[in-house]
A and B are shown apart, each in its own frame.
Chain A
Amino acid sequence: MRALCWNGVNDLRVETVADPKILNPKDVILKVGLSTTCGSDLHLIDGLIPTMREGDILGHEFMGEVVEVGAEVTKVKRGDRVVVPSFVSCGECFHCAQEQYSLCDTSHPKPELAEPILGYPTAGIYGYSHAFGGYSGAHAEYVRVPFADVDCFIVPEDVSDETALFISDAAPTGYMGADFCNIQRGDIIAVWGCGGVGLMAQQSAMIMGAEGVIAIDRYPERLAMAEALGAVAIDYTKVDVVELLKELTGGRGPDACIDAVGMEASGQGMEQAYDRVKQALYLETDRGYALRQAMMACRKGGTLSVLGVYGLMDKFPMGMIINKGLTLRSAQQHGQAYVPRLLEHAQRGELTPAPLATHRFSLEDGPKGYDMFKHKTDGCLRAVFAP
């Protein structure tokens, strides 16, 4: 089959590889319908996250059709059109029982690579380096999905492929971020980042009854998409964000702040220069501008919901959390906990992720798609691949 492979820092190629096989009895093989780029892939492509191997297939956000079924799969059938969350989860362990699916105890095939970095291995992820399990990714014609009865969700007929695609990752990540905010009547939620995850966090906060949602980014087309969802959009290059947030909230500050930016945050001035230099020298992996601004802006006693992906950041202003009594919530997406209700929200027209698919490519044009996505060329919000 054909697959989009990582061959070194900023070196992506579409190559011919073998087809995946069923390896364990609860596996299925999926014929990929659509897959998409994610900002966190850029960390891998740029070499900010180690333990990629030359020839690894990328891609962790996808949907498709079941074409082969393992001996112990009981619910999922050949021909089912399904969406699959990015993390492999067994549904049987302590963490899965608590719906902490991205912390699954049993799905990481290479715990010896993760344990020295994090203390304990996370769940495995598709196409996301060997420290995260080394599973082959979904930018390919076919992908193997373990624990299919737990991880495959049938897409209802009235939900399109594009909508289902983002219910693999962007939507559940954003929805979980809003869920972390425990939104109460009157709450105003500020969201840093208007990429796929940020926009989905904004829409999710509205679904959960937020009084208002404020979106922060610098790209006009992304701010326009946030406004179209009903958010108040702020261009952080044009205003003092913290001051404006106070003004918009009667001096209280947002009740919860969601960071949907992560380690590649752009900032301004000296702080940005400091972060960028340290990152370039590999002294730290993260540029934490958005997160630090969110901590400053958040009201006292508020919630900081961190969805952006970070490595090992120094210069973290812990005093802000202690003195302001902030609650810090964070996780990689526990998608399996949210996908059923997200599909229902999509059916009712409350969740509308399809517009995230601004640019569509054949799999063969995958490297071009990533290049446009990385540089946000032509307003590219997400590049979607159809094998």
Chain B
Amino acid sequence: MNAAQDPEDLDLAARAAVTIGRPADALRLLWLAPDTLPRIMSHFADVEPIDERVAQWSMEAPLGRTLRWRTQIEEKASDHLAWTSLDGADVPNAGALQFAPAPGDRGTEVTLDVRFDPPGGLIGEGVAKLFHVVPREMVLKALYNFRALALTGEIPTTEPQPAARNGGMDK
């Protein structure tokens, strides 16, 4: 899948990669672990694992709307994971994760593709109105979060922390 090829789709599709100093097997297991997606996607959506393959996504969209969908993982090969949304999704979408060995002892190159196909009524509003996070940022931050989790067991955060706003504790 190369979702970003069609220029007309650029705003609704994104692709990014990171290199992680861990073997592909370990990264694949970590990605499929039940609490991984909820943690690495928290900037974009609330993800709730339903079973090993299916996850429920919900996202607070602008104008007080909540968008919901379910995704199902279809494994294709040991170096590849792919998922698509199930029927009834507010915003139909698909994603794929590719693992490739990095040169030397650099570990594994992890490439994430996502593509959103909103129905006609929604697409007219543009991506900026549809999501609070554009797909490019969603993909990049998910990968950075995933790398941090794989290497350190935690995801860097500053929330909440002291600041002279919001009653002294920034959210």
Contact = CB atoms under 8 A, between A and B. Distances in A.
Interface of A: 1, 3, 5, 7, 13, 15-21, 23-26, 53-57, 72, 88, 90, 92-94, 97, 105-112, 115, 121, 124, 133-136, 140, 144, 146-147
Contacts of B165: 53-55
Given A106-B147, A111-B140, A26 B154 contact: yes
B161 A20 contact: yes
Contacts of A23: 157-161
Contact of B162 (A3, A53, A92, A124): A3
Contacts, number: 110
Given A3-B164, A7-B164, A94-B106, A112 B140 contact: yes
Contacts of B163: 5, 17, 53, 55-57, 136
B144 A111 contact: yes
Interface in B141-171: 141, 144, 147-148, 151-170
In this complex, the member of B140, B144, B160 whose beta carbon has the largest number of chain A beta carbons within 10 angstroms is: B144
Contacts of B9: none
A20 B162 contact: yes
Contacts of A93: 21, 147, 151-152
Describe A's contact surface by its main secondary structure: loop
A147 B148 CA distance: 12
Contact of A136 (B21, B147, B153, B161): B161
A361 to B, nearest CB: 19
B164 A5 contact: yes
7 contacts: A54-B165, A106-B144, A106-B147, A106-B148, A107-B148, A109-B158, A133-B156
B162 A17 contact: yes
Q: Which of A54, A57, A72, A112 has the most chain B CB within a 10 Å cutoff?
A: A112
Interface string B74-99: 00000000000000000000000000
Given A18-B169, A54-B165, A94-B106, A124 B154 contact: no
A17 to B, nearest CB: 4
Interface in B102-152: 106-107, 137, 140-141, 144, 147-148, 151-152
Interface of B: 19, 21, 106-107, 137, 140-141, 144, 147-148, 151-170
Nearest to B156: A109
Q: Which of A13, A17, A21, A57 has the most CB of B within 10 A?
A: A17
A54 B158 CA distance: 16
Contact of B19 (A5, A53, A94, A106): A94
Contacts of B147: 93, 105-106
Contacts of A92: 21, 151-152
Given A105-B147, A111-B141, A112-B140, A1 B154 contact: no
Nearest to B43: A112
Contacts of A55: 163-166, 170
A53 B170 CA distance: 11
A13 to B, nearest CB: 7
Nearest to B149: A106
Contacts of A5: 163-164
Shortest beta-carbon contacts, A-B, top 10:
A55-B165, A55-B164, A18-B169, A106-B148, A17-B168, A17-B162, A15-B164, A5-B164, A18-B168, A109-B156
Contacts of A124: 156
A88 B19 CA distance: 20
B161 A121 contact: no
A134 B170 CA distance: 11
B144 A144 contact: no
Given A17-B164, A55-B164, A25 B141 contact: no
A359 B166 CA distance: 33
A25 B137 CA distance: 26
A136 B157 CA distance: 11
B135 to A, nearest CB: 12
Contacts of B159: 23, 109
A97 to B, nearest CB: 8
Contacts of B148: 90, 105-107
Contacts of B153: 25-26, 72
A51 B157 CA distance: 17
Contacts of A88: 156
B144 A121 contact: yes
Nearest to B102: A94
A144 B151 contact: no
